[in-house]
Structure formats: structure tokens, C-alpha cells
Amino acid sequence: MNTAKNTHTIGIDLGDKSHETCTLNAEGEIIERTTLLNNQPELIRFSKANRGATLIMEAGCHSPWISRLFNQRGHKVVVANPRKVRAIYQTDNKNDERDALLLARIGRFDRNLLYGIEHKSEAHQRALKIIEARDALVSARVKLVNHVRGSLKSLGIFLPSGCSTEAFARKATEHLEAADYALVAPVIESIGHLSELIKAEDKHIDTMIAEDYSVAQKLLTIPGVGPITALSFVLIIGSPDRFATARDVGPFLGLVPGRDQSGDVDKPMRITKAGNRMMRRLLVNCAQYTLGHFGPPSALKEAGERKANSGAKIAKKKAVVMTARKLAVMMLALWKDPNSKYEPFPTKSSQQQAIAA
């Protein structure tokens, strides 16, 4: 091994077809710039030529598999959080070569400034793709249902309201006259087919929970938390030891307000919306159920209702976000402590122990 290269820091600006690299030596001098094709043989060749070097890259579409490849080959890899590295995304003179240089220089100076993230394992990533595929199918079905309703409404034809998207194709077929059905028949048939595919994905997810992710079954004991939310939470968090306390999961999922404080001024801000967008949406949906008519009585619901009735104009929205954050904390607390169980009205001592776990 060429130990001289162990002190090299290499910034890699990842692209879809190729990557720009910039290599700095121990003194911070640029010693090499290269362009790599985006394929495994090329990246393996680059790794062999730079054994022991520290590699810096931004999080993106290709960073999970590329960072795993380099980690397996003995490199120290730092994946920068692009939301935090303003020196790159807010520059007036942005290009791939400059981005690679900035990544290398920041990584060499202080890696903490990159707010490095840790990608999930390939197994977790593959499992999460199944949930994302189902989410895409659901989104496509909603758009098609809206298309059918809107198209027929313009002709004065109204379909029954209140029917679920799962039953929409059957209800629409029963309700429409033959001539009217013919106008949107391909779309209605596609909706029915999508519903069948979504049911198949739901069964697949139930099987995954039962066979591979049994911890998600414990999270299902929380009213309003379904299989999609429970499994997504387990896959996205990755490990219960990722956070020192359960409270830390709120900022990770972007469910806490940002802060802009200077001197005596401390501006109120909206939630950061950092982290996984789908997980945040799922938690908000669970929170809406908890605070809704069908949500069973619990300390969580009572806290949310107090917030919603506080009188502020935006109080209801804040109550939903607060409840979503508390749900995330509760889920992580249950996960961290194998002996814990869901309690709708926990005692103060048990609640403190769970959050501190």
C-alpha cells in the first residue's frame, strides 16, 4: 500500500453520467483532477489508485451505493449534507470542478462542517424502495380518480362522493351509463388494476414485518400507526442507537422549528422539514388520525387538543405537527427499550424513562 496517499483528501462531485474529482495532499495543494465514468469498474480502478485516501461527496441519488463501494474497499468516506453546505449550493460561480474542490477543502479543514450523514444498508434501502413503489402507485391512483371525476363533472355527470379510492373503480362502473363509462373506461380499468397492485404490495409489506422486521409489530400497538408508517420508521431510522435520546428524532425528521437568533432578536420560524419527506408525511397523517374523531382517548390526544384550542390562528396546524413529533419520540422510545409497551396514559416516571432511553 502506498502510505503516502493515506493523507490525501479527495472531493468527488457526483453526477449521473460522470464524476469530477479533486485530490489534495497533506499540505492542501491540488495534485490531481480527474473525471470518472459512473460505473463500478471505473470507481474500483480509482479506489486502487488512491488507497487509504479520505473521500468526500455530497448526498444524492448515487451516493448510497458509491459510498458503500468505497467503504468496503477501506476508504474513510464522508457524505456531506447538501442542505448544510451553503458554500456549494449558494455560490454565484457553481460548476462541478469547483464543487469537488470545495468538498475536498472543507473535508480537509473540518469534517464537522459537512454535517456528514450515514446511509442505510443496502438491505434497508431495498426494503424502503418497496414502500416507495407502493407510495407511487397510490399517488398515481389518486391522480387518475381526480381525472375521472373532473372529466365527468364537466359534462354534468357526478359520481357518488364518499367512496374510498379502493372501491372507486367498482362504484364508478356500477353508477355510470354505458355511453358515459366508455368515455373514461381505460382510466377506470387502470384504477382497478392499480388497486390490485397496491393490495399485493400491502401483503408484501405485512410479510416483511412478520419475517424480517418484527420490531415494527411493537410500533403497531400505537393507535393510528399502521404497517406502512411502522416499517418506514424502522427502515429510515435504521438503528435505535442512532440517537442519544428519543427526543433527538424530532429534529432529524424536520418536525421542529428552525431558529434565526442574533442578539436580542429571536425570530419565530417554521419547521425545518429536514430529513425524509415521506416519513414526515406519514407521521402527520397518523397525527391527524390521533386528533380526529376516530382517535381513541390518550394523553397524546389530550395534549394535541389543548394545543389546537389555544386560540392562535394557526394552532390546529401546530397541534398536528406537535403530535407527529411526539409520535416519533414515542415510537423511538418503544424501540429503544425492549421491555417498554404502549400506554395511552403513561405515568410521569415511565414517560421520563422512555424519553431518556
Query: What pLDDT was estimated at residue 278?
Result: 96
CA triplet 93, 94, 100: central angle to 5 degrees? 125
Contacts of 190 (CB under 8 A, 6+ apart): 144
Write down the H helix ranges in the chain: 40-49, 63-72, 86-89, 96-109, 122-153, 168-175, 178-211, 215-219, 227-237, 249-252, 277-291, 299-308, 315-336, 348-356
HSE-CB for 140 with a 13 A CA cutoff = 16
C-alpha distances in angstroms, 97 versus 11, 18, 85, 89?
Answer: 9, 12, 16, 13
HSE-CB for 307 with a 13 A CA cutoff = 20
Length of the chain measured in residues: 357
In contact, 168 and 145? CB cutoff 8 Å: yes
In contact, 69 and 93? CB cutoff 8 Å: no
Q: Nearest CA to 221 among 357, 341, 345?
A: 341
Q: How far apart are CA 23 and CA 13, in angstroms?
A: 12
* Residue pLDDT tens, the chain, 357 long: 444 447 899 999 999 999 999 999 999 999 999 999 999 999 999 999 999 999 999 999 999 999 999 999 999 999 999 888 876 666 666 788 999 999 999 999 998 989 899 898 999 999 999 999 999 999 999 999 999 999 999 999 999 888 889 999 999 999 999 999 999 999 999 999 999 999 999 999 999 999 999 999 999 999 999 999 999 999 999 999 999 999 999 999 999 998 777 777 767 788 989 889 999 999 999 999 999 999 999 999 999 999 999 877 789 999 999 999 999 999 999 999 999 999 999 876 555 555 555
C-alpha distances in angstroms, 234 versus 92, 201, 249, 254?
Answer: 40, 18, 12, 17
- Reduced to 3 states (helix: H, G, I; strand: E, B; else coil), residue 63 is helix
Pairing of strands 265-267, 9-13: unpaired
Q: Nearest CA to 1 among 42, 49, 46?
A: 49
Q: How far apart are CA 147 and CA 4, in angstroms?
A: 63
CA triplet 211, 217, 220: central angle to 5 degrees? 145
Residue with cell 480527474: 34
Q: How far apart are CA 95 and CA 329, in angstroms?
A: 40
Q: Nearest CA to 12 among 65, 55, 63?
A: 55
Q: How far apart are CA 54 and CA 52, in angstroms?
A: 7
- Torsion-angle region of 286 (φ positive above 0: left; ψ -120 to 50: alpha; else: beta): alpha
How much is the pTM? Answer: 0.87
Q: How far apart are CA 113 and CA 81, in angstroms?
A: 9
Please return the burial class of 117, using the count of CB atoms within 10 Å of its CB with bins 0-12, 13-18 and 19+. middle
Q: How far apart are CA 222 and CA 345, in angstroms?
A: 12
